[in-house]
Amino acid sequence: MNERYFICVSGVVQGVGFRPFVYQLAVQHHLTGWVMNSSEGVKIDVQGHKEALDLFVRALRERSPRLARVDDVICARQRLGRIQGFTIHPSQRDKQVAVSVSPDQSICPECLSEMYDQHSPYYHYPFINCTHCGPRYSIIEQLPYDRGNTTMKGFDFCPSCLQAYQAPSNRRYHAQPTSCHHCGPKVALRHARGTLTTQHDQVFEQAAEILSQGGVIAVKGLGGFHLVCDATSSVSVSKLRQMKYRQRKPFAVMVDGVATAAQYVTGEPAEWQALKASAAPIVLMNRRPHPELVPEVACDRPYLGVMLPYTPLHHLLFEQYRRYRSEPVLVMTSGNLSGMPLVTDGDEMLRLFGEALDAVLDHDRPIANPCDDSIVHYAGNTIRVLRMARGYAPFSHHSDYQGAPIVAMGAQQKSTIAMALSGQSMLSPYIGDLDDLDTQQRYEKTISLFQHLYQCEPSHWVCDYHPGYFSTQSAHTRSGGILPVQHHHAHILAVMAEYQITDPVLGFAFDGTGMGDDDTVWGGEVLLADTQGYQRCGSLRPFRLIGGERAIREPARILLAMLLECYSLQEIRSLAHPAFQGWDDHDFSNLHQLWLSGQHSPLCSSVGRLFDAWACLGALLDRPDFDGESGLLVESAAMTAGQAEIPWEMNWADGTSLLDWKPLLIRCIESQIWLSQAAVSDACLGLIAALAGAIQQMAGRYPSLPVIVSGGVFQNRLLMDVLWQKQDEAQPIYSGTMIPVNDSGIAMGQLWYGIHQR
């Protein structure tokens, strides 16, 4: 018996080879009809024997291409018709958009093999790609995902590429960036002294030569530029740090393969798997001592960020560089000044860095949407995303939400935006800290891009409570309703969104700072939370930030404030702690008065600031160079600790809701831990163990509730490992895996709140 179905498939089904998959599936089952892309998804009109049709529909759900994600397959019976063969129709643009933009992907093994095949038309072609790999998000300008809607629209096909593009059996069927040496983008090496090299082979030869001589070059990748130098040259890496104004934050490196990576890092099987995955993120792995890797790369930190070449251009550069080093390792860091947006234009790179930059390896395929490298690490027994960008973002998933569009504006730091449409939710790539005009403009463009791609006018804008956040201020300039969400509630909601949790949870939100609902600075909160609201049932014992924001830049002020809760000013001065060495009587007196009066010294319950104080207490740093440096230093020190003889504990004071750090601090002061590196290490491990124990204590008060841990503090691997080792199967612990636990995940938490409001 014959039947006819009209089918609409939604999800990540464009730019991933879905239509040729449908075509081949239909031919295999002797079905007739057609398939086409539309803004609503992939539409299919198919007719044939019922058993074959049922197998066809089942295969759509279960055997989709490797980069596809099928959210929904809607079938409607149609009247039988006279249909000959099976064809692929031109795309259609609908009013409603139900597809998701695919993230950029690294070069696939098939394309890599062709690129090194001297008989292939793509031999040594730096932009080879197919439906399994290459740029997507970074080149798209509107949906549906067709060549005319991407930055490839200015490159006309040669006859050979057109034939491949139009053949459903070809791996490049409707792979929008399809091109070759004859018709595609071209590379060029722009020297700082003004000369230009355009001969293909010479471009890579000269770039490799510059690197071998200690130079720094800019290389245009998928979503923007990298600044690149040899990681075995102290002069080169030091020069790069000066160029970026980046003192101690570790650099990531790119190596030519897993075998080379294994000489520099060690890791769990899941870490190696993440390194080789098509998303090709930077993986933070345990650093293995290596005589050639200069200290300026990782600044003696225990981890090294490693990635593999993910574009054909990267592979060609490494091929040439192997003439100078058999196992090359290159620093690959974002092409920008620290704290500024990623640069996508070669002229802008030259303007920013001038003659300090030896050359720019450029190409003429425009980048529509900047996208930085993703960063992941292994903690709590799984791979977790720290920065969601290339390869992972835009992140989208199927949703039961069927209301009007909602946009969540995210936080001030590590900003992202999130959007909900009928049937799907999505999170943008990492944008950056909204502290400067350039990043604010990039943020506004991202909002406009998502509205344009999905042809929507949001009904509501969800934002942080904090009136000083640029994201909050931006929300209030727009038409539609405003839904404010408390920062730490949003942290908990972000994890709930990832695991689709709507019932009450016990949430621990530990981060740097966020505005509380009592006019104090929060950051060590325990919340009984659901999608409608929260109740604060615990927090870190508060202390003052002497001088407000200045205390974050000068953590000795935080340490002083905490010590003043335990000792007199004279007792503190008699300690002769190295953190206060540069202070005179006037400094101590002024800061003490600020602490007494509370003027410009808000109360703070932040665990992130507690880590600042602990790093200062152990004389691990004077002033932080980057966000989270204190936490990383405490974690690094803790990794060298032995087994402490006395258990380190931090209890909820007298059975109250305040987590009391005072006994722990007094113990450290009485033993003068800063005089011994071993004592500092023990105290750092003790702090982490005490926090884990405190979480378990509080969780024991609410045994029926699942536990959620979120916020930047939970990027600490040791803390996560301890929690996961000790968790009770009857009371599961959840934390972000795909959605970052830092402020990059705030937008998704805000969105989860927004879609559950009536």
Strand partners, 736: none
Q: Report the distance separating Cα 487 and Cα 463, nearest Å.
A: 9
Distances from the Cα of 291 to the Cα of 71, 81, 183, 294, 639, angstroms: 49, 72, 45, 7, 22
The number of C-alpha atoms within 13 Å of 313 and in the hemisphere containing its C-beta is 22
Q: Determine contact, residues 14/145, Cβ cutoff 8 Å.
A: yes
Can you list the positions of beta strands (E) in 178-259? 187-191, 196-197, 217-220, 225-230, 252-255
CB-based burial of residue 76 (10 Å sphere; 0-12 exposed, 13-18 middle, 19+ buried)? Answer: exposed
Distances from the Cα of 122 to the Cα of 114, 129, 321, 611, angstroms: 6, 9, 21, 53
Task: State how far Cα 159 lies from the chain centre.
Answer: 40
Catalytic site residue from 37, 369, 716, 742: 37
Catalytic site residue from 2, 4, 19, 193: 19
- Interstrand relation of 196-197 and 187-191 (parallel, antiparallel or unpaired): antiparallel
DSSP string, 724-746: HHH-BTTB-EE--SSS-SSGGGH
Q: Report the distance separating Cα 211 and Cα 482, nearest Å.
A: 51
Q: Report the distance separating Cα 88 and Cα 42, nearest Å.
A: 11
Q: In sequence order, which residues have a C-beta less than 8 Å from that of residue 308 and are 6 or more positions away?
A: 106, 254, 255, 256, 257, 258, 261, 275, 276, 280
Query: Could you identify the residue written with the tokens 């345990």?
Result: 286
> Can you list the alpha helix ranges (DSSP code H) found in 245-345?
258-264, 269-276, 295-298, 312-321
Distances from the Cα of 644 to the Cα of 613, 633, 680, 681, 689, angstroms: 21, 19, 11, 10, 11
Strand partners, 543: 604
Assess whether 336 carries a catalytic annotation: no
Q: Determine contact, residues 750/490, Cβ cutoff 8 Å.
A: yes
How many CB atoms lie under 10 A from the CB of residue 285? 25
Helix (H) or strand (E) holding 382, with range, is: strand 382-387
Distances from the Cα of 355 to the Cα of 217, 245, 359, 583, angstroms: 11, 16, 9, 41
Phi, psi torsion values for 65, nearest 5 degrees: -55, 160
* Tokens linked to 337: 């000044």
Phi, psi torsion values for 285, nearest 5 degrees: -120, 165
Q: Find the Cα–Cα–Cα–Cα dihedral 300, 301, 305, 306, rounded to 10°.
A: 50
DSSP string, 553-608: H-THHHHHHHHHTTS-HHHHHHT--GGGTT--HHHHHHHHHHHHH-TT--EE--HH
Assess whether 19 carries a catalytic annotation: yes
The per-residue b/e assignment along 166-193, b for 16 or more CB within 10 angstroms, e otherwise, is eebebbbbbbbbbbbbeebbebbbbebe
Q: Report the distance separating Cα 651 and Cα 698, nearest Å.
A: 9
Q: Report the distance separating Cα 521 and Cα 543, nearest Å.
A: 10
* Tokens linked to 703: 């045994």
Q: In sequence order, which residues have a C-beta less than 8 Å from that of residue 384 and are 6 or more positions away?
A: 376, 377, 378, 735, 736, 737, 740, 741
Strand partners, 190: 196, 360
Query: Omega of the bond prior to 467 within 30 degrees of 0, cis?
Result: no
Amino acid at 339: G
Catalytic machinery residues: 19, 37
